[in-house]
Amino acid sequence: MVKRDGKNILIEAIPAFFSKLGFLDKKRGTEAFDLAWPIIITGGLRVALRLIDFLMVGIAIGAAGVAALGFSFQFFFIGFATALALSSGTISLVSQHHGAREYKKANFVIKQSTWLAFIISIPLILITLGYADQMIALLGAEPEVVDMGAPYLRVLMLGVFFRFYSMIAARAFAGAGNTITPMYVRMIGIPFNIVLNWFLIFGIWRFPELGVLGAGIGTTITNVSLALVFFVLLVSKKYEVCFDLGGKQWDWEVVRQLFTVSFPLFAMRMARTLGRFPFLWILSQFGMGAVAAYQVGQRVELFAMEPAWGLGTATSTLVGQSLGAGEEREAERYSWETLKLSIGIMVPIGFAIAIFSEPISGLFTDEAETIALSSIFIWVNAFGVLGFAINRIMRGGLRGAGDTRWPFYGNLLGFYGWMLPISYFFGIVMDMGIEAVFLGILGSFFIPGFVNLYRFKTGKWKKVSRKIRKIGEMD
């Protein structure tokens, strides 16, 4: 298992607190939190970055600018969802290879993932450059919103490969048990991104005042810079994982393993990403204020949900390394203890934020209707935090084993079987209003969580892991 020299009082204090309540196994909780906290910190900074983008654009332009960011970012999520899926395959294979001490195989997975990322990025960039205006207009955006959102989307998508590579590198480090190094890289990049966006959105100093487009340029410059830093670190060969420029560049068997693990996650992410398009169209029927309010409410509550990313990644690493070492029972224990820890951390944060929902919403706009709606969206997301925690941690455990199909099924059921039909039928067809959207959002949190929980309890993910490891041994 992952071990670190020295002690961190805070890292030990949080699991120790829940342990004293009889809620958590201290040893496993500490190991999970030790891996998770750097990802939580950097994830929180990343959420803050996007939130500050929305805040600055809201101040500079108003609700239309916030809506432009929201509409445009949904298309960037196509590349982002692909990157998440492939990097999830990367962490699964790297962690299991490290658990089995197969370090050369782990390093080649990084190279193979990078080549796949490059190939996938090219058509995404070309399509966006040619059709950004039509893509945003398709969602029901008003002309003013399209005019602001299309240039932002084009610039943002130019950096998609670099964002892709950074995610692969960060997950590769995490698969080897190193979440500190990616944290340091991102802690440098995120403040730089915030300052650069501020200069370009408002035209500070000698920079031009570019509004929404400025946010896209600043983010793309940052994505390129961080990717270069990760590249230098990996080719230096001074860390647990490395990127070897020479030697074999492609292996169809490794590609098959990556697709075996990543494709269900890709399908899940893509289904959810594409599902956001009709959902945004549904929201647009209630006005651009509703679209802006949804974006604000979702991004504010991401501060409560962000720990699930770090703890989910920690679960994948600990489960993958345990399985690689042949310790199936230990892998199962880590998943349950990390789930308890995530619930104990996330749910209180979610409701603490919701208590101050109105003054927080007022920071983004002075439009009373949008403030009221944003506040309600924050409360809806706060109630959904529990379902989100179950979903992410159980998915992390399944991902560490390479069992990624059931999270896809759960996502389909939650989004297409519940969120979209409930929001559309009751909200628009039955004319029950935006309250139906709130009900749809809650179901989209809990249904995938319960599906992943059921799959994990069956224990069938252990057989999936054995099959993947057997394929790797034959290579």
What pLDDT, in 10s, does the model give residues 161-215?
998 899 889 888 888 888 888 888 888 888 888 899 899 999 998 888 898 899 8
Q: Which domain holds residue 140?
A: 22-470
pLDDT by residue (tens digit) across 246-298? 888 888 888 888 888 788 777 777 787 778 888 988 998 988 788 888 988 88
Query: Is 253 part of a structural domain of the chain?
Result: yes
Which positions ≥6 away from 473 have C-beta within 8 Å?
none
- Rounded mean pLDDT, 337-356: 95
Q: Calculate the average pLDDT of the chain.
A: 87
Query: Is 350 part of a structural domain of the chain?
Result: yes
Write the DSSP symbol of residue 207: S
Distance CA 394, CA 382 (A): 19
Find where tokens 């996330």 sit: 346
| Per-residue tokens: 467 | 């099959």
pLDDT-derived band at 469, boundaries 50, 70, 90: low
Query: Is 402 part of a structural domain of the chain?
Result: yes
Which positions ≥6 away from 326 have C-beta within 8 Å?
none
Query: Is 116 part of a structural domain of the chain?
Result: yes
Q: Residue 26 — φ and ψ, nearest 5°? A: -60, -45
Closest by CA position to 173, among listed 219, 236, 223: 236
Q: Up-side HSE of residue 466: CA atoms within 13 Å toward CB? A: 8
Distance CA 83, CA 88 (A): 8
pLDDT by residue (tens digit) across 445-460? 999 999 999 999 999 9
Query: Is 16 part of a structural domain of the chain?
Result: no
Q: Residue 72 — φ and ψ, nearest 5°? A: -65, -40
Q: Residue 238 — φ and ψ, nearest 5°? A: -105, 5
Alpha helices in 61-102 (DSSP H): 63-99
The pTM assigned to this predicted structure is: 0.73
Query: Is 8 part of a structural domain of the chain?
Result: no
Distance CA 440, CA 444 (A): 6
Contact 468, 324 (CB under 8 A): no
Distance CA 96, CA 103 (A): 10
Find where tokens 């998508």 sit: 157
Residue 2 has pLDDT above 50, yes or no: no
Query: Is 1 part of a structural domain of the chain?
Result: no
Q: What one-character-per-residue DSSP string does 304-357 give?
A: HHTHHHHHHHHHHHHHHHHHHTT-HHHHHHHHHHHHHHHHHHHHHHHHHHHHTH
Total number of domains in the chain = 1
Question: How deeply is 101 buried, as exposed, middle or buried, from its count of CB atoms within 10 A (0-12, 13-18, 19+)?
Answer: exposed
Query: Is 9 part of a structural domain of the chain?
Result: no
